[in-house]
Structure 1
Amino acid sequence: MPYVTVEMLEGRTDEQKKALIEKVTDAVVETTGASREKVVVFVEEINKQHYGVGGKRLID
């Protein structure tokens, strides 16, 4: 059973996340031959307050 975790900053719409899950699932099925019903995709959204680049939070 393949598990895929996608980490990204918050702010995508539900439709965008739905499309992402569908396309990631398609890619896993195509490349591994796994059964579509067995592919699990986790979308983890990172709050911009909890993410920093170059010593600064993205919201600052």
Structure 2
Amino acid sequence: MPIVNILVTREGTTPGADRTTTEQKNAVYKGIADLLFDVMGKPREDTTVIFHEHEIEDLGQGGLPLADYRRQHAQGRQTGA
């Protein structure tokens, strides 16, 4: 039985949204089950998808809080660094 973990930040994908909607999650569940069936022949009914949403404050990257890391890299892209 395939078990797939999806980890995302609790940032909305549309302006003003603060989390992933039920409709978006449902599309992810279906998409993952379809992908595993199409690529590996795994029966859709045997696929379990676990969706984890995390506050951005709970994540770090490059030794920094994620928000700070993103800010630094956004500035670097703007300056061409």
TM over 0.5: yes
**1:57 offset after TM fit, Å?**
4.5
Gaps of 5+ in 2: 11-18, 69-81
> What TM-score results when the alignment is normalised by the length of structure 1?
0.81
Are positions 1:48 and 2:62 aligned together? no
Structure with larger RCO (C-alpha < 8 A, sep 6+): 1
Percent identity of equivalent pairs? 28
Higher helix share: 2
> What TM-score results when the alignment is normalised by the length of structure 2?
0.63
Give the 4+ runs in structure 1 shifted more than 4 A.
none
TM-align CA RMSD: 1.7
State the structure with more CA Rg.
2
In the TM superposition, what are the counterparts of 1:1-60 in structure 2 within 5 Å? Answer: 1-10=1-10, 11-54=19-62, 55-58=64-67
How many residues are paired up?
59
Gaps of 5+ in 1: none
